[in-house]
Amino acid sequence: MFRAVSLTIIRPTAKEPSTTRWSALGKVPGRAASGPAQAVEPLIAAFRAAHPAADPAELRRAYEVAERMHRGQMRKSGNPYITHPLAVATILAGLGMDRTCLIAALLHDTVEDTAYTLGEVRADFGDEVAVIVDGVTKLDGARWGKETAEAETFRKIVLAAAADLRVLIIKLADRLHNLRTLGAQPPHKRERIARATLDLLIPFADRLGIHVLKREMDDLAFATLDPEAFGETQAKVREVLRLVEAELGPAAAMLRSALADNGVRAEVELRPRHLHSVHKTLPGDLAGLRTSEVIRFLVLVDGSEQDCYVALGAVHAALHPITGRVKDYIAIPRFNLYRALHTVLIGPDGDMLDVIIRNRRMHEVAEYGLIAHIRQGSGGGAAEEFAGRRDLAWLARLLAWQSDAPSAAFLDGLRTDLREGNMPIFTPEGLIVPLPPRSTALDYAYALDPETGEHSIGALINGRLAPLSAEVRLGNVVEILTAPDACPGPDWLEFVRTAQARVHIQGFLDAQAADERARSGREALSAALAAQGVDLLAAETAGDSLGVARSLGHSSPESLYLALADGALPLDDALSRFATRDFEPDHSAPPE
The CATH number that applies at residue 335 is: 3.30.460.10
Q: Give the C-alpha separation, 303 to 565, whole Å.
A: 70
Looking at the fold, whether 175 and 307 belong to one and the same domain comes out as no
Looking at the fold, whether 76 and 196 belong to one and the same domain comes out as yes
Digit-coded pLDDT (tens) for 437-474: 889 999 999 989 889 999 999 999 999 999 999 999 98
Q: CA angle, 471 as apex, 366 and 404 as ends, to 5°? A: 75
Digit-coded pLDDT (tens) for 366-400: 999 888 877 766 444 444 444 445 556 677 777 77
Q: Show which of 456, 480, 497 is a domain's final residue.
A: 497
Contact 529, 535 (CB under 8 A): yes
Looking at the fold, whether 49 and 165 belong to one and the same domain comes out as yes
Looking at the fold, whether 176 and 198 belong to one and the same domain comes out as yes
Q: Is residue 391 part of a domain?
A: no
Q: Is residue 377 part of a domain?
A: no
How deeply is 417 buried, as exposed, middle or buried, from its count of CB atoms within 10 A (0-12, 13-18, 19+)? buried
Which of 571, 576, 540 minimizes the C-alpha distance to 556?
A: 540
pLDDT along the chain (592 residues), means of 10: 38 37 39 62 93 92 94 90 95 93 95 92 94 82 63 79 85 94 89 90 88 94 93 92 92 96 95 92 76 94 96 96 93 84 94 95 91 66 45 69 72 73 84 86 92 94 95 92 93 90 89 89 89 85 85 87 89 83 48 44
Looking at the fold, whether 476 and 517 belong to one and the same domain comes out as no
Domain extent for 471: 422-497
Q: Is residue 166 part of a domain?
A: yes
Q: Is residue 401 part of a domain?
A: no
Looking at the fold, whether 62 and 194 belong to one and the same domain comes out as yes
Q: For residue 146, what pLDDT is reported?
A: 64
Q: Where are the beta strands (DSSP E) in 311-398?
A: 327-328, 341-346, 352-359
Looking at the fold, whether 258 and 140 belong to one and the same domain comes out as no
Q: CA angle, 503 as apex, 502 and 509 as ends, to 5°? A: 90
Q: Show which of 213, 230, 247 is a domain's final residue.
A: 230
Q: Give the C-alpha separation, 584 to 563, whole Å.
A: 19
Q: Does residue 112 carry a catalytic annotation?
A: yes
Maximum Cα–Cα distance across the chain = 99
Can you tell me whether residue 186 is helix, strand or coil?
coil
Q: Give the C-alpha separation, 387 to 547, whole Å.
A: 47
Q: Is residue 416 part of a domain?
A: no
Provide the whole-model pTM: 0.75
CATH of the domain at 92: 1.10.3210.10
Q: For residue 145, what pLDDT is reported?
A: 63
User: How is residue 469 annotated by DSSP?
Assistant: T
Choosing from 112, 449, 516, 582, the catalytic residue is 112
Contacts of 422 (CB under 8 A, 6+ apart): 334, 335, 394, 434, 435, 436
Looking at the fold, whether 440 and 524 belong to one and the same domain comes out as no
Q: Show which of 165, 199, 230 is a domain's final residue.
A: 230
Q: Give the C-alpha separation, 83 to 30, whole Å.
A: 6
Q: Give the C-alpha separation, 548 to 391, whole Å.
A: 52
Looking at the fold, whether 269 and 297 belong to one and the same domain comes out as yes
Q: Is residue 463 part of a domain?
A: yes
Contact 521, 564 (CB under 8 A): yes
End-to-end CA distance of the chain: 73
Q: For residue 106, what pLDDT is reported?
A: 96
Number of domains in the chain: 4
522: left (phi over 0), alpha (psi -120 to 50) or beta: alpha
Q: Give the C-alpha separation, 490 to 513, whole Å.
A: 11
Q: Give the C-alpha separation, 142 to 375, whole Å.
A: 39
How deeply is 178 buried, as exposed, middle or buried, from its count of CB atoms within 10 A (0-12, 13-18, 19+)? buried
Looking at the fold, whether 163 and 97 belong to one and the same domain comes out as yes
Looking at the fold, whether 155 and 300 belong to one and the same domain comes out as no
Choosing from 58, 113, 124, 351, the catalytic residue is 113
